[in-house]
A and B are shown apart, each in its own frame.
Chain A
């Protein structure tokens, strides 16, 4: 809590500094322009125009009303003092003076109001989109949680109630199912934990550090092999060690979700492959299978966390699919990368994500 407050106050200090800098810069430019024009022509009609323009620009670029109003007052005094007769003297009795002042003030107020309103609307739109995303995720989650819980309770109830009537293998099968579902719940909860870490208010709270891609893949692979010892897995990594600045736990989760998806949805898969490679300024990791591939209609919807919520896309009990990919997408974009899904020409699906690499890390 403390830390985020600190960041926020730091942010507002930076904003104030930026606002002041813009105001001073624009006024300075206007001043210089007027001074140099004064040497070229004896007329001074352009002076108020230039300053009105300056006030307009300041109101447009700064936050709130303060800077615009301040700029208009400064401009009026400045114009009066330096650029109108008598020069270098304040004289508030000049003809037309109130008009100039009122014009500038009006310009600054109108522009500030407009920009503030536009910004508020933008923020509101953003918040609505966030809320929508959260609502979608929550819907998908509660839906996804109910299925395995029902099966766990059912299996265990049966074992307890029918203890005398079950033979050894029936019992083992029921308990095995319960265990599988419980394991799936664990991964779901880990996805949820990741969401809380990446969608904490405005600032993301992921903790990045330089990590070797092969180590992240390595840990995923050994965890994966424990859970799916029968899957034929192929891993390709570049000869040169590849370092990326990431939150390793989160990237591991992305890989885990993609690999699990391949196992649960590709149906006819005989080989799952993971390939890491280097592109222009980014690292790329692709998870591909040679299964049935993706329904082209659902590809654009894949990363939105809504599959199964919309009717017409039958997928097996909607399990394992609801939020996994939405979480992947959120994690990757929090790292400044992108994630895509496609069908391979030779059959099967490929999910690919990129992570930007800094030159200094290579």
Chain B
């Protein structure tokens, strides 16, 4: 008998939690369901799930509050489910420590991919396993060489500046996960530079012109409008 990952779904809509349960169970996860924030609290502590799928719009407690208090004692991955009307909550949720978000309505494939990425990231820590062993990140013809501080496209140096390299390197380490503007800025230039993401945007525009075939049809670094950037999953 194999041991399966246990996923806690926090969702008050019965039809949505039913459909989530069905796809997750058929993809070999154990599923438990909480229908309110209070129930979620007690299930997190008693069941110790491997991942939480959290709907931000709960009847009793603000979903953001749950993220905040869970993050006080555990790094257990949280994937947030948000409606389009809660755009700002999305960024807030990520900045509070949620691992990823998915916007309603979503397909089964998308959700499963997010869950796999989130679980893997928590298992292997921030640094991707391949990066830790080989010092390299590869996706298609993009290669980040962490030892030489270089980004290669089709084997040749893309000629990134230092700041540009730092951005790509950071995104590569968290490949598959969306990083908010604030997070990237803080990681790169320290906590004092909050609020101005214009220069980050300009750096990104330059990076895209160096590594993407067509900057408006990116293959490697995707924009999540109003939220941040996401590097494609490595090979």
- Quick check: A214 and B225 within 8 Å, CB to CB? no
CB contact between B216 and one of A190, A211, A221, A252 (< 8 Å): that residue: A221
Residues of A with C-beta under 8 A to B224: 219
Q: Whose C-beta in chain B lies nearest to the C-beta of A247?
A: B226
Cβ contacts A316-334/B at 8 Å (1 or 0 each) = 0000000000000000000
- A219 to B222 alpha-carbon distance, docked (Å): 7
- Quick check: A235 and B214 within 8 Å, CB to CB? yes
Residues of A with C-beta under 8 A to B204: 212, 215
Interface flag for B15 (CB, 8 Å): no
- A252 to B224 alpha-carbon distance, docked (Å): 12
- Quick check: B225 and A252 within 8 Å, CB to CB? yes
A193 with B198: in contact, given A214-B216, A249-B226 (CB under 8 Å)? no
- Quick check: A235 and B198 within 8 Å, CB to CB? no
Q: Whose C-beta in chain B lies nearest to the C-beta of A252?
A: B225
Interface flag for A217 (CB, 8 Å): yes
Interface flag for B87 (CB, 8 Å): yes
Interface residues on B, range: 20 to 34
Interface flag for B27 (CB, 8 Å): no
- A248 to B228 alpha-carbon distance, docked (Å): 13
- A216 to B215 alpha-carbon distance, docked (Å): 11
- Quick check: B218 and A241 within 8 Å, CB to CB? no
Interface flag for A237 (CB, 8 Å): yes
Residues of A with C-beta under 8 A to B190: none
Interface flag for B123 (CB, 8 Å): no
Residues of B with C-beta under 8 A to A248: 225-226
Q: Which of B194-211 contact A (CB under 8 A)?
A: 198, 201-202, 204-206, 208-209
Interface flag for B130 (CB, 8 Å): no
- Quick check: A212 and B201 within 8 Å, CB to CB? yes
Interface flag for B186 (CB, 8 Å): no
- Quick check: A243 and B85 within 8 Å, CB to CB? no
CB contact between A211 and one of B209, B217, B222, B225 (< 8 Å): that residue: B225
- Quick check: A193 and B225 within 8 Å, CB to CB? no
- A304 to B209 alpha-carbon distance, docked (Å): 39
- Quick check: B222 and A222 within 8 Å, CB to CB? yes
Interface flag for B155 (CB, 8 Å): no
Interface flag for B192 (CB, 8 Å): no
- Quick check: A218 and B105 within 8 Å, CB to CB? no
Interface flag for B120 (CB, 8 Å): no
Residues of B with C-beta under 8 A to A237: 214-216
Residues of A with C-beta under 8 A to B47: none
Q: Which of A59-78 contact B (CB under 8 A)?
A: none
Interface flag for A210 (CB, 8 Å): yes
CB contact between A218 and one of B202, B206, B222, B226 (< 8 Å): that residue: B222
- Quick check: B217 and A241 within 8 Å, CB to CB? no
Interface flag for A118 (CB, 8 Å): no
Interface flag for A29 (CB, 8 Å): no
Interface flag for B223 (CB, 8 Å): yes
Q: Which of A160-198 contact B (CB under 8 A)?
A: 186, 190, 193
- Quick check: A243 and B214 within 8 Å, CB to CB? no
- Quick check: A215 and B105 within 8 Å, CB to CB? no
- A234 to B214 alpha-carbon distance, docked (Å): 10
- A214 to B204 alpha-carbon distance, docked (Å): 11
Interface flag for B116 (CB, 8 Å): no
- Quick check: A193 and B84 within 8 Å, CB to CB? yes
- Quick check: B222 and A214 within 8 Å, CB to CB? no
CB distance from B115 to the nearest CB of A (A): 18
Residues of B with C-beta under 8 A to A243: 198, 201
- Quick check: B198 and A214 within 8 Å, CB to CB? no
Residues of A with C-beta under 8 A to B84: 190, 193, 249
- Quick check: B215 and A214 within 8 Å, CB to CB? yes
- Quick check: A249 and B87 within 8 Å, CB to CB? yes
CB distance from B181 to the nearest CB of A (A): 11
- A218 to B225 alpha-carbon distance, docked (Å): 10
CB distance from B80 to the nearest CB of A (A): 18
- Quick check: B216 and A217 within 8 Å, CB to CB? yes
- Quick check: A216 and B205 within 8 Å, CB to CB? no
CB contact between A235 and one of B105, B216, B222, B226 (< 8 Å): that residue: B216
> What are the 7 tightest A-B residue pairs by CB atom distance, in nearest-first order?
A241-B205, A215-B223, A217-B216, A248-B225, A214-B216, A235-B216, A237-B216
Taking Cβ atoms with an 8 Å cutoff, the residues of B that contact A are 84-85, 87, 105, 198, 201-202, 204-206, 208-209, 214-218, 222-226
A-B contact pairs, 10 of them (CB 8 A): A193-B85, A209-B226, A214-B215, A216-B225, A218-B215, A218-B217, A219-B225, A239-B209, A249-B84, A252-B225
Q: Beyond the given A212-B205, A222-B222, could you list 7 further A-B residue pairs with CB under 8 A, ordered by the A residue number? A: A186-B105, A211-B201, A214-B215, A218-B222, A233-B217, A241-B206, A252-B225
